[in-house]
Amino acid sequence: MTLAEAAHAAGTPAPPPQGVTMSGAINRALRDAMTADTDVVVFGEDVGTLGGVFRVTDGIARDFGQDRCFDTPLAEAGIVGFAVGMAMAGFRPVIEMQFDAFAYPAFEQIASHVAKMRNRTAGKVNLPIVIRIPFAGGIGGVEHHCDSSEAYYAHTPGLKVVTPATVQDAYTLLREAINDPDPVIFMEPKRLYWTKGSIESAVAAKTFESFGHAAVRREGTDVTLVAYGPSVDVAIQAASAATESGWSVEVVDLRTIVPFDDETVVASVRKTGRCVVVQEAQGFAGVGAEIAARVQERAFHSLHAPVLRVAGLDIPYPPPKLEHIHLPGVERVLDAIARLQWEDSPDVRFLSGSKDGAA
């Protein structure tokens, strides 16, 4: 007898359902999309019989048949190129790259064909392909399993780049991605696969808002934290902790990196006057740098301090026992918030000769 059954037998109500995991939400989105449209097909390495190494496609081959969900040879460029051809024949392929770094062999197919086909053919050939990529770290993965590769895709015109931070968004954004007439890189934060939430209202909604709408996850008045995917949770935790120092922190979850929601981000920064961008990826030339630049271009006169970035270190993703040093955590975010010129005095850390300076 389970605890719930025992509780029920004892006359007390069973505990409320804990909801669905993010991987379960993605599975449900795939199933619902496949039910809604018979042209939706799922394929990749191990996604068939096994149900994927993260079990995201669990049971789909069994329930929809091998025609709709199938294993391919182990060749990522081949998987993406095959999807290009199937899309040209009228299908809507949803393909899985097993891990972030294993998608690199497919980069030419993605950058030269997936991203450009509509443009090369003056709109005559569009490619409604979703490329699902489990990405980023925090799961103790060994090398080549934890890369944050979003900037490569976001830098490529013609690709939409989406990353959910909540269970409900995993469902909603994937449904929208599959409906989208353009190719979508759907980046799933691996460490959130096992988080739980409710998707009931999203499943019931049937319609999905278009891409390009960031969400304010927490309202605040003093600082805006901009984050996406795996970093949103870190930002929310930091925002909670910041209240102890008297800072009211707003958290904006981008949801889609491309298209980018300048409007929501800038509106938040105009309100708060301060901004920190949080990303797990290595910082140099990253998505966070783009966000910081955009905020300063658009809201300069509203800013009381430079936009700061909190990012991963500029190193190849470290071995598991060192990843906690690499990953931006709450403390690093709070340190950045503390540097937002609250006293309106210069930040001297980059001045040579100063005790904090690098020189």
Partner 1 sequence: MEADALTTDTSTSLPQTAATDRPFARGLMPAPVPVQFLDHLGRRVRVFNDEYPEPSSEQLVAAYSAMVIGRRFDIQATALAKQGRLAVYPSARGQEACQIASMLALSPDDWAFPTYRDSMALVTRGLDPVEVLTGPHGSAHCGYNPRAARTAPQCTPLATQLIHAVGFAFGEKRKGRPTVAMAFVGDGGTSEGDFHEALNFAAVFKAPVVFLVQNNKYAISVPLSKQTAAPSLGYKGIGYGIASEQVDGNDAMAVLAVLNKAVAHARSGQGPVLVEAHTYRLDAHTNADDATRYRDPEEVDDWLRRDPITRLEAWLRHEALMDEAFVASVVQKAEAFAADVRDRMSVDLAVDPMSLFENVFATPTPQLLEQRAMVEAELEAEEASR
**Site residues for partner 1 per CB under 8 A:** 67, 72-73, 75, 77-78, 81-91, 105, 108-109, 112-113, 117-126, 157-158, 160, 180-182, 212, 258-260, 262-263
Choice between 182 and 222, CB closer to partner 1: 182
Q: Give the count of beta carbons closer than 10 Å to the beta carbon of residue 177.
A: 27
* CB 124, min distance to partner 1, A: 5
Query: Under a CB-based contact definition with an 8 Å cutoff, are residues 100 and 149 in contact?
Result: yes
Report the nearest approach of partner 1 to the CB of residue 21 (Å): 31
Q: Which amino acid is at 134?
A: P
Cβ–Cβ < 8 Å for 88, 118? no
CA distance 310 to 288: 8
Concerning whether 304 is annotated as a catalytic residue, the answer is no
Nearer to partner 1, 76 or 147 (CB): 76
Query: Which entry of 145, 304, 324, 326 is annotated as an active-site residue?
Result: 145
What is the closest distance, in whole angstroms, from the C-beta atom of residue 287 to partner 1 in the complex?
Answer: 14
Q: Is 254 helix (H, G, I), strand (E, B) or coil?
A: coil
Specify the residue, 181 or 346, whose C-beta has the smaller distance to partner 1. Answer: 181
Smallest distance from partner 1 to CB 78, Å: 3
Helix, strand or coil for residue 115? coil
139 vs 289 by CB, closer to partner 1: 289
d(CA 40, CA 20): 23
Compute φ and ψ for 350, nearest 5 degrees.
-100, 5
Buried b (16+ CB within 10 A) or exposed e, 316-339: ebbeeeebeebbbebebbbebbee
Active-site residue set: 145
